[in-house]
Structure 1
Amino acid sequence: MWKVNVKDLIKERRKVIEGTYAPEFVELHTGTYRVLHGGFKVKMVLTYADNKILLGGYARGYVEKPCDRCLKLSEMYIDGIIEAVYTFEKKPPSKNEELKDLTNEILLTGDIIDLEERIVEGIVSSAPDVFVCSPDCKGLCPYCGADLNEEPNHTCKAMEEEQVDPRFAKLLKIKHTQEG
């Protein structure tokens, strides 16, 4: 489903591909996560113009990922952008052009374009580095690991017995003197 014949595309000039990309797991830069709700909804438009094939589209879906603050498994939405330019001849860019041209240009070597790589690339590049289950997630107690969302007034023995770094002891003394 994710393969396109180049000769057919050149004849048609434009092709729209829609479907569901449904792997069981997806590998992101922060780990491997289970794909939810049957997969990613994908829509791509391929257009042949000026001896190039332009690709644009999206891959949208959910993965199950632990919250980076409280570690609860939650649903993370990914709205992946798919972009690429396929060329038939690649000209080596000069050093100045290399820095200016940041297009995702791919040299076509055969009669078939495998779009699965572009789908995965769109998903991975759009996944956030930090994910929280909700904007007001309080996370875990840094001393005992208790979930502060479930225990908002949490105090623990380790917190009370916190050792002050000797380098900051004088600052703490000043603070206590100012507070009275």
Structure 2
Amino acid sequence: MRLELKQVWANPGRPVLFSGEEDLGTIRWYDETLHLEGPVEANGSAFYQDDHIYLFLHVRGVIHRSCSRCLVDILEHFDKDEFLEVPIDEVPPGMQYLELRPYIENGVRLAIERKPLCKPDCKGICPHCGANLNVEGHKLGCQALEKEVDPRWAKLKELLTSQ
């Protein structure tokens, strides 16, 4: 998606509206590769003032993620408004347009959860037996079923059981 700069510079202080879809496919975010479900809807306005281009950007879409506790695949919907300031010296001289893709990608990154959950009360995966605790209970012989004694109280327990 591109923003025609001559329209922006022609009327300083007046907003130029833009709207469209950007097919991002996948984007990197921290240690994760995120797959988007279809194109991202982006719209907003831009205006030029005081050697800056100001962007009001709205992004909306759906992204494939994994629950951070139980690793189940989920679809996360995002909808975010963002205000950006682009200094004019970041735009190369003679440039006819401003490519909006990097700003749309950043809008997506800001809109999504850092640690997504399939549901607010997700129980996750048992660290001992590997069972998904949302779907099934602990497996037979799981160490999580045994009550662990705090090591600071272990000597006291030995005293009580020896008598």
Aligned-pair identity (%) = 28
Unaligned runs of 5+ in 2: none
Deviation at 1:66, TM superposition (A): 0.8
1:28 maps to 29
2:141 maps to 157
Question: CA distance change for structure 1 residues 14 and 70 in 2, over 3 Å: closer, same or farther?
Answer: same
2:115 maps to 130
Separation in structure 2 between the aligned mates of residue 168 and residue 19 of structure 1, nearest angstrom: 64
Q: Note if contact 2:131-2:139 (Cα within 8 Å) is conserved in structure 1.
A: no
**Aligned letter for 1:108?**
V
Q: Note if contact 2:3-2:18 (Cα within 8 Å) is conserved in structure 1.
A: no
**Normalised by the size of structure 1, how large is the TM-score?**
0.73
Deviation at 1:165, TM superposition (A): 6.1
Q: Give the paired residue count.
A: 155
Deviation larger for 108-117 or 158-167: 158-167
Deviation at 1:147, TM superposition (A): 1.0
Deviation at 1:157, TM superposition (A): 0.7
Q: Note if contact 1:40-1:60 (Cα within 8 Å) is conserved in structure 2.
A: yes
User: Per-residue CA shift, 1:120-153, capped at 9, x if unaligned?
Assistant: 11111332211101112111112111111112x4
**Aligned letter for 2:140?**
C
Deviation larger for 60-69 or 75-84: 75-84
What pairs with 1:31-180 in structure 2 (closer than 5 Å)? Answer: 31-36=32-37, 38-88=38-88, 107-110=90-93, 111=95, 112-151=97-136, 153-154=137-138, 156-159=140-143, 160=145, 164=149, 166-170=151-155, 173=157
1:128 alignment partner, SS class: coil
Separation in structure 2 between the aligned mates of residue 108 and residue 139 of structure 1, nearest angstrom: 47
Question: CA distance change for structure 1 residues 81 and 169 in 2, over 3 Å: closer, same or farther?
Answer: farther
1:78 alignment partner, SS class: strand
Q: Note if contact 2:80-2:111 (Cα within 8 Å) is conserved in structure 1.
A: yes
Q: Note if contact 1:69-1:140 (Cα within 8 Å) is conserved in structure 2.
A: yes
**Normalised by the size of structure 2, how large is the TM-score?**
0.79
Deviation at 1:81, TM superposition (A): 3.6
Separation in structure 2 between the aligned mates of residue 135 and residue 165 of structure 1, nearest angstrom: 29
Unaligned runs of 5+ in 1: 90-106
Deviation at 1:22, TM superposition (A): 1.7
**Aligned letter for 1:133?**
C
1:3 maps to 2
Deviation at 1:16, TM superposition (A): 1.2
**Aligned letter for 2:5?**
V
1:157 alignment partner, SS class: coil
